[in-house]
Each structure stands twice: as C-alpha cells, then as structure tokens.
Structure 1
Amino acid sequence: MQKEPLGLHISQQFTAEMDELRSRFLGMGGLVEKQVNEAVTALIEADTALAQLVREADKHTNRMETTIDEECVRILARRQPAASDLRLIISISKAVIDLERIGDEASKIAKRAIQLTEEGESPK
C-alpha cells in the first residue's frame, strides 16, 4: 500500500508529524481488527492460547490509544492546525477511543472463550 502524503505544509516537521499520527492510527486499527478476528477464532475453535494472546494484545491497544491521544493534543498545542488538519486530528482523537473500546470487547470475547473451554462447553 502506497502512503499518500496528507498535504504539504510550510513546516516539513509538521507534515512528518501528521504522517506519523496517521500511520499510528492505521496501525492501531489493524491491531484491533486482528484482535477481533483472533478472538472470534479462539471462541469457535476453543483455542485458549490464541485467546490469551488477544487478552495480552489489549494492553498494547490501550497504550497505543494513550500515545495517539497525547500526540493529538501535542500537535494541537504546538502547531495550532486549521481546516482539514484540525478536522483530521479531532477525528483521530475521537476514533482511537472507539478502537480501544472495540479492543476491550475483543478481550471480553477471548476471556469468555477461555471460560467456556475450561468449563468444557466450547462449541468445538
């Protein structure tokens, strides 16, 4: 996948910061998507090892949410972006909260998969 620049700014550093923010956000989205897929797979196949990996990945997702949100605040404070840059930063700041919640739900599915397997009630 080729990376498209968000837009060129007078400050190359600002452009780099925006690209990094976008990259981290997309990375978090990919991780959360993987968590959901693996949690459902662990549930269906009664795979407690995979479910445990999902639960551990949730800690990383939580750290990513904090890091990305802090980066958004830092860019807002230092760069005072306008127009589309401002909208993008605000959107990312709100969306990472939702991604973190989705990661939490994947962790809950994984936890339940472990419980069902231990109780002998797994679908497999």
Structure 2
Amino acid sequence: MGQLIYDGEVLDLRVDDRALTHLQIVIVNMLRRDHRFVFSWKDDVLHGDGRSSIWLHPNVSLRFTFGGSRVPAINRSWLEDLYAAATSGAGLVLTPEPPDTSTADDSAWSQAVVPGGVPSSTAGDTE
C-alpha cells in the first residue's frame, strides 16, 4: 500500500502501489504542464466514510511513497481515463482499472514514461 504526502501532511488515502503509480504519472504530467486541478477520494470507513479533496497546483509539495520497490506494468487505457477525469470539471478521481485496450498508435499522453525512466511499452517486463 502506498501513500500520498501533500504539503508535508500524510493524507488519509491508502491505495495499492499499482493505482498510486498510475496516479503519480497523471498528477506529475499534469503539474509539469502547469495545470491546476482537484483530486478527490472516498475516505476509509474507519474515518467516517466521507470524501476528501485537495487542490493540486505546480507549487505544492507532493511525495508518493510506495510499499514495494517494483514498478508495475502501466495500463495506458487507465491513464487515459484518469487524465480525462483530471481535466474535467469534477477533477481527478481514482477509478477502477479498466482492461488495457491501448495500441502503439494511442495519444502521446498514453505513452507516458513510468517513474524511473522506463517507457510504458516495456514497463510490463518489470513485473
């Protein structure tokens, strides 16, 4: 399980490393492009079963911590879904992982590079 640390504060958001890796790719690429957007998630039942949101912008300090050391294979279809959510009025929300139906001819966005500099087309080799 991984965590996101926002402006020095550990968020009450625990997600598996695979999902956090996909969120990291989307968030970092959005911020690199100087985008500002909201990121929302459902709180754990132990903490009231509500929901939380943060405003992400290029000047905020973010730290992604992962429970494991292996970088998972990247699902470009999931990246596309998450990117579409981030650019919508509702903002980024972690959605369930869809089947990867992407092809080599997909958009430049879906061909994002995974953390560590491994192209997404070869990321499956690390699993």
Question: TM-score interval w.r.t. the shorter chain?
Answer: under 0.3
Q: More helix per residue: 1 or 2? A: 1
Q: More strand per residue: 1 or 2? A: 2
Which one has the largest radius of gyration?
A: 1
TM-score computed with the length of structure 2 as normaliser: 0.23
Q: Which of structures 1 and 2 has the larger relative contact order (alpha carbons within 8 angstroms, sep 6+)? A: 1
TM-score computed with the length of structure 1 as normaliser: 0.23
